[in-house]
């Protein structure tokens, strides 16, 4: 079947809510033997969210990765994260379909997740947004790319300008923006912002957070009970997309139970773990790649990753807007590099790693720009760090041979 027909067919399929019900049933059977039940919850969550978004029973709100999803659930909307959808497309190894389209409009030097998302928007493969919400954290793309989407779709773009540093003045500035945003969105959608709903969202978010904290504690175990490659895929996906939902609580509770079993049995995800690694960046390459096979083959386990670190305090029901603002400002990637650098040092020590891999995603200036300073700081602390250049979404920017050579050299250096 040629590409055009395939695209037409996929467009037809994904826009039909009933297809998600069928897929859920089929995937339930397909993944029945999946060892980790939390993974099945992730799949179910994805299907349900997309079904709701295409069914348009509630406002479809596209948001950038670091906009707290609790806000969208509080507004009564269905959140769609174009960057996360892009990572799924890369996972299914069809990102080139959409990159080809996007690259006729925007530079290939930009983040491939935004390029894929643009290509999907151009191919009408995404649920049409009713409005967009993005924030200045963590990157320029989440401001400007969403501005472009706003022009393409002709829908309003609401923007949260996150102050560079924490402080009372910044907090007030951000809280005021939340208030204005909520007023405007409520006016647009007609769905009121009601405390009963927001309190429920807060309770669920805090419950999920609590389970995630416990998961993170379990993952200190040696050997590492849970692979970083999976935490960087569906673990990160749930952190970005689901907080505030019942499914998030279910997921992290289930994940906790699953990992606890492994820890009790003293079983690692790698047999004969030889080296422990920390992965820096919120993403990894999602298209088929050999990174984790190379690491696993050398008995090097990615024991933890930056994206799973819980940096925010529990949300407060009565001062929710301030809490959400605090959560955004507390992100170690916001503000000066020392936030991220200190977090890297802390995690490296906590998880007793032998080395750190900083994944520098092509087009991700906010992270790659600080990689050298972070690597130098880790080295001063006696922790070797390797900067691995690559691309999270575009396989044409990936060189398996070169990556393998570099990883093997790093591991050899670790001894």
The pairing of strands 300-305 and 275-280 is parallel
In the complex with other proteins, which residue's Cβ is closer, 136 or 245?
136
Site for other proteins (CB under 8 A): which residue of 166, 189, 366, 404? 366
| Segment lying near other proteins (by CB under 8 A), choices 12-20, 33-41, 51-59, 101-109 | 101-109
Verify binding: residue 109, other proteins, rule CB under 8 A.
yes
Smaller CB separation from other proteins, 14 or 341:
341
Tokens 């960087």 belong to residue: 232
The separation between CA 259 and the C-alpha centre of its own chain, rounded to angstroms, equals 21
My answer on whether omega of the bond before 138 falls inside 30° of 0, hence cis, is yes
- Of residues 296 and 335, the one with the C-beta less far from other proteins: 335
Identify which of 110, 62, 60, 112 has the alpha carbon closest to the alpha carbon of residue 90: 112
To other proteins, the closest distance from the beta carbon of 203 in angstroms equals: 30
Residue 313 interacts with other proteins (CB under 8 A): yes or no: no
Angle at 128 between CA 93 and CA 364, to 5 degrees: 50
Q: Would you count residue 399 as binding other proteins (CB under 8 A)?
A: no
187 binds other proteins (CB under 8 A): no
The residues facing 277 across adjacent strands are 302, 355
| Interface map 314-343 toward other proteins (x if CB under 8 A) | ----------------------xx------
Q: How many residues bind other proteins (CB under 8 A)?
A: 41
| β-strand pairing of 157-160 with 131-135 | parallel
Closer residue to other proteins in complex, CB, 179/264? 179
Site string for other proteins, 137-156 (x = CB under 8 A): --xxx-xxx-xx-xx-----
Q: In what order do the strands lie in the sheet with 157-160?
A: 78-80, 60-63, 131-135, 157-160
- Minimum CB–partner distance for residue 144 and other proteins (Å): 3
For other proteins, which is the closer residue by CB, 68 or 339?
A: 339
Q: Which of 11, 105, 195, 349: binder of other proteins (CB under 8 A)?
A: 105
Choosing from 153, 368, 408, 414, the residue that interacts with other proteins (CB under 8 A) is 368
Among 293, 301, 388, 283, CA closest to 352: 301
For residues 2 and 151, which CB has a smaller minimum distance to other proteins in the complex? 151
Cα dihedral value 371, 376, 380, 385, nearest 10:
50
* CA–CA distance, 227 with 391 (Å, rounded to integer): 20
Distance CA 150, CA 318 (A): 32
Distance CA 361, CA 394 (A): 10
According to the binding rule CB under 8 A, does residue 159 interact with other proteins?
Answer: yes
**262: which residues sit within 8 A by CB, 6+ positions away?**
225, 226, 268, 269
Q: How far is the CB of 341 from other proteins (least distance, A)?
A: 9
**Options 6, 57, 93, 169; binder of other proteins; rule CB under 8 A:** 169
Nearest approach in angstroms of CB 357 to other proteins is 16
Nearer to other proteins, 129 or 228 (CB): 129
Which residues partner with 357 through β-bridges? 279, 386
Query: Is position 261 an interface residue for other proteins (rule: CB under 8 A)?
Result: no
Give bridge partners of residue 61 from the DSSP assignment: 79, 131
Integer Cα distance of 344 and 371 in angstroms: 11
Stretch of 18-26, 92-100, 172-180, 207-215 contacting other proteins, by CB under 8 A: 172-180
Binding site for other proteins (CB under 8 A): 105-107, 109-110, 136, 139-141, 143-145, 147-148, 150-151, 159, 161, 163-165, 169-170, 173, 176-177, 180, 336-337, 360, 362-363, 365-366, 368-373, 376
């Amino acid at each position: 079947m040629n590409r055009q027909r395939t695209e037409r067919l996929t467009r037809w399929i994904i826009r039909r809510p009933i297809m998600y019900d069928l897929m859920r049933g089929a995937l339930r059977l397909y993944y029945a033997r999946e060892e980790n039940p939390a993974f099945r919850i992730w799949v179910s969550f994805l299907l349900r969210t997309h079904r709701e978004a295409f069914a348009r029973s509630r406002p479809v709100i596209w948001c950038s990765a670091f906009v707290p999803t609790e806000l969208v659930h509080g507004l009564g909307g269905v959140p769609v994260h174009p960057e996360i959808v892009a990572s799924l497309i890369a996972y299914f190894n069809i990102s080139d379909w959409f990159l080809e389209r996007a690259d006729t409009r925007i530079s290939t030097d930009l983040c491939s997740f935004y390029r894929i998302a643009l290509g999907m928007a151009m191919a009408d493969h995404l649920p049409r947004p009713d409005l967009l919400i993005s924030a200045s954290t963590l990157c320029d793309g989440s401001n400007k790319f969403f501005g472009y989407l706003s022009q393409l779709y002709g829908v309003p773009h609401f923007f949260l300008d996150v102050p560079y540093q924490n402080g009372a003045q910044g907090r007030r500035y951000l809280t005021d923006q939340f208030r204005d945003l909520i007023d405007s969105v409520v006016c647009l959608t007609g769905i009121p912002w009601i405390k009963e709903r927001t309190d429920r969202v807060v309770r669920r978010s805090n419950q999920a957070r609590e389970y995630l904290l416990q998961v993170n504690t379990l993952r200190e175990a040696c050997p590492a009970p849970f692979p970083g490659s999976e935490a960087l895929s569906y673990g990160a996906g749930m952190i970005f997309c689901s907080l505030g939902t019942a499914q998030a609580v279910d997921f992290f509770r289930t994940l906790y139970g699953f990992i606890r079993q492994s820890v009790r049995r003293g079983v690692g995800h790698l047999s004969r773990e030889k080296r422990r690694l920390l992965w820096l960046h919120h993403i990894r390459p999602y298209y088929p790649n050999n990174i984790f096979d190379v690491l696993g083959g050398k008995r090097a386990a990615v024991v933890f990753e930056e994206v799973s670190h819980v940096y925010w305090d529990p949300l407060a029901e009565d001062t929710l807007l301030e809490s959400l603002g605090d959560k955004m400002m507390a992100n170690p990637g916001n503000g000066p590099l020392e936030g991220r650098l200190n977090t890297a040092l802390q995690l490296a020590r906590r998880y007793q790693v032998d080395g750190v891999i900083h994944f520098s995603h092509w087009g991700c200036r906010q992270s790659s720009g600080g990689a050298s300073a972070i690597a130098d700081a880790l080295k001063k602390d006696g922790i070797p760090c390797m900067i691995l250049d690559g691309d999270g979404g575009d396989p044409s920017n990936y060189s398996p041979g070169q990556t393998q050579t570099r990883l093997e050299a790093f591991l050899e250096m670790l001894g």
